Structures are given as structure tokens and as C-alpha cells.
Amino acid sequence: MAKRKRVLKWQRDPEGMRLRILEAAKQEFSAHGIGGARVDRIAQEAGANKRMLYYHVGNKEDLYLAVLEGAYEKIRAEERELDLEHLAPPEAIERLIDFTWNYFIKNPEFLALLNTENLAKAKNLKRSTKVKSMHSPFVEMIRDVVRRGVASGDFRVAVDPVQLYISIAALGFFYLSNSATLSVIFGRDLLAKEARDERLQHMVALVLAALTGKPMPSFAKDKAPKLRSAAHHTA
């Protein structure tokens, strides 16, 4: 009887079951990679069984791809809420850097998934029919900010929006992904709050200096309270 009740509950909420499977799988893949992940552990954590799992998302590789696509969907959806089109271009770039940095900090499983997929030479991501279409509107959003910045005289040159975003992401990604080794090498706790705040200020100053041609000190230190406010707004 208990088994029948569980089946009926699953049948009443198939989308809820699918979401629980994907969340459990995200944690499993980010912790163990695709090779070390175990379907049994995912099913147990989701309160499912293998039959339910295969019914909702397919085999292990399909499940991993669904998790990867979901991770990209989540960050792209939150980026669309930044309202960059209604900000002055320098403020829009500042908010984008602030959001990207804090998103990476709050979602370490996202960085772990990216590391796993890069080690696999994007073999799984190449099978996706969704990812490229997710990124097109985001690139156009950045392109619009850059165009407005050039037109207003805030920015010196219309940089490639893809290159700009890769540079912003790289400034945060490398720091966080390598914080353990870098902390040992330089004798600093790079994940301490003060160090994270300093890094964010540095990234904003560096990128805005490159875009505007103004010296980095123009964007340093005095921006700290504003950045913390933006981080709270986009959390």
C-alpha cells in the first residue's frame, strides 16, 4: 500500500519529481563529476527510484546534459533581471560585474559543472539544442550597453560583447577556481570577506578603466558601498 501511495504522489506531481531529480543530480555531478556520479545516490536524494529517473530525464548522460542546460538557464534568467538597459553604461557594466562575481560565489556548483565540462572538451554541451539560443539575447544586451556607452562618450571603443563578457567572467572564475592554491602562494586568505570585496572593487576598476580610458583609481575604493548594495539587489 505504501508503495502505491508513493507512485500516486509521483503521478500527481511529475514536474516536482523532475525538479527534485535535477537538483539532486546537480549536487552529485558538481561534487563527483560525470564519471564519479552515481545514479543510485541521485535517485535516493531525490526520493525517487531509477525507473522514475530514467522516465523523467533519460540515462546518466542525458541527466547530466539536462543539469548543465539548467545551470545555464538559471544564470541567463537572472541576468535578464538586471535591467541593464535602463542604467547608464558605466553603471550597467558595474552591475554586470557585481552580479557575475556574486553569482559565482553563491553558486559554486555552477563553477564545478563548468570545470567538469571543460575537462570533457564540451562533449556533452555540443549535444545541446538549447544553449546557443540562451546566450544570443544576453550578448545583445551587452552589445546595447557598449553601443550606448560609445554614443554617450562614456566608452572609447565598441568592444566585442562576447570578449567583454569572457573577460569579466574570467576575472572572477580564475580567482575563485584557484583560490586554494593562490592563497597558499601569496599567503592570503583570498576567500575572506575583505579579500572578496577588494577583488570586486579591483575588477570593476580594471574593466571600467579599459572601457573609458580613465585611470583605475577613478573607480576604486569609493565604489565599495554601491557594490555591496548592488549585490544585495541581485541576490
Going along the chain from its start, the domains and CATH numbers come out as 1-58 (1.10.10.60), 68-233 (1.10.357.10)
Pick the closest to residue 228 from 207, 204, 206 (CA basis): 204
Pick the closest to residue 142 from 67, 87, 188 (CA basis): 87
38-72: string of b/e by CB count within 10 Å (b at 16+)?
eeeebbeebebeeebbbebbeebeebbbbbbbbbb
**C-alpha distance across the termini of the chain, in Å:** 44
pLDDT tens-digit profile of 69-117?
999 999 999 999 999 999 999 999 999 999 999 999 999 999 999 999 9
Separation between Cα atoms, residue 18 and residue 23, nearest integer Å = 9
Lookup result for grid cell 508503495: 3
- Min mean pLDDT across 42-46, 51-55, 102-106, 154-158 is at 51-55
Separation between Cα atoms, residue 51 and residue 53, nearest integer Å = 5
